Amino acid sequence: MDSWPSFWTHNKPLYEDMLRKGYSFKHNKAEGLAHFVDSESQYIDYPAGYITGPCYQDTGSGRPWYASIKGTDGWRQRSFTNRQEAVDWALAAASGGNSPAREN
């Protein structure tokens, strides 16, 4: 399963709301960063519920895949043994569903 269509479907209303508020989305491929900016190119935080990932970073933990969800009080991030677990957790958690994934 490709996560991009699923994550985009989830994020699209949040993304469109940010655009309506006058923000734009900036993706700096050289730095691997993506975020919203205002008209003066100042960083604007992602809206609550926005999903990023899944990303791969092998730190030797045996759980190299992770996804993140912006909450009202910061980011929720979990790591998993495989990509699909990260996708499933992010979609369930962002939709308010329960997930068997443990906190890392």
> What one-character-per-residue DSSP string does 51-62 give?
EEEEEE---SSS
Distance, CA of 22 to CA of 17 (rounded, Å): 9
Structural domain containing residue 56 = 3-94
Q: Which strands make up the sheet holding 43-44, listed edge to edge?
A: 24-28, 33-37, 43-44
104 domain-assigned: no
Total domains, the chain = 1
pTM of the predicted protein model: 0.80
pLDDT digit of tens for each residue in the chain (104 aa)?
A: 455 578 889 999 999 999 999 999 998 888 778 899 999 999 999 999 999 988 899 989 999 999 999 999 999 999 999 999 999 999 999 887 544 443 44
Q: What is the CB neighbour count within 10 angstroms for residue 98?
A: 7
Query: What is residue 71's three-state secondary structure?
Result: strand
Distance, CA of 23 to CA of 49 (rounded, Å): 17
102 domain-assigned: no
99 domain-assigned: no
101 domain-assigned: no
